[in-house]
Amino acid sequence: MNAAYTGGCACGAIRYEISAEPIEMSDCQCRQCQRKSGTGHGSYLTFPRPAVKAEGDAKHWDVIGDGGTVKSRAFCPTCGSPVYLTFPGIPEIFIVHAGSLDDPSRYKPQKVLWTAAGHAWDHLDPAAAKFDRMPPG
């Protein structure tokens, strides 16, 4: 493995260190991610939960995805930065926002989810695999 993945919020109140390679890296164009990011998509790295060390008190906001899955979005109550998300029904994974990485250049999207909700002005990596909705498990 390369160096640990590290990151956190804009003010530094929340920090994480992850000692594993990502399971996947993906962009999502669903309407929830558009609203959360304030732009055309969200960019995420998914990691195995046991490899994650997180510090700081995040505020959580739970939303229900189109498939009925509960997502718990974590953000800093001081600066408002979105940092990570978890799924109570899938506790073995931990997902960080690519923009929260100390070195965001390590993010290399492999797939784009929910292209059915995407906008023509949101230009993503043309080499990434595309899925109208969530790909099969």
Question: What digits encode the pLDDT tens for the residues 75-128?
Answer: 999 999 999 999 998 999 999 999 999 999 999 999 999 999 999 999 998 999
Q: For position 56, which CATH number holds? A: 3.90.1590.10
Three-state secondary structure of 69-89: CEEEEEECCCCCCEEEEECCC
pLDDT computed for residue 93 by the predictor: 96
pLDDT, mean of residues 15-28: 96
Domain containing 42 equals 5-130
11 occurs within a structural domain: yes
DSSP annotation of 37: H
Predicted pLDDT at 37: 86
The predicted-structure confidence for 27-57, as pLDDT tens digits, reads as follows: 999 888 888 888 989 999 999 999 999 999 9
The band of 2, judged by pLDDT with boundaries at 50, 70 and 90, is confident
Is residue 114, in this structure, part of any structural domain at all? yes
Could you tell me which residues come within 8 angstroms of residue 33 by beta carbon, excluding any fewer than 6 positions away?
A: 41, 42, 114
- The answer as to whether 116 is a domain residue is yes
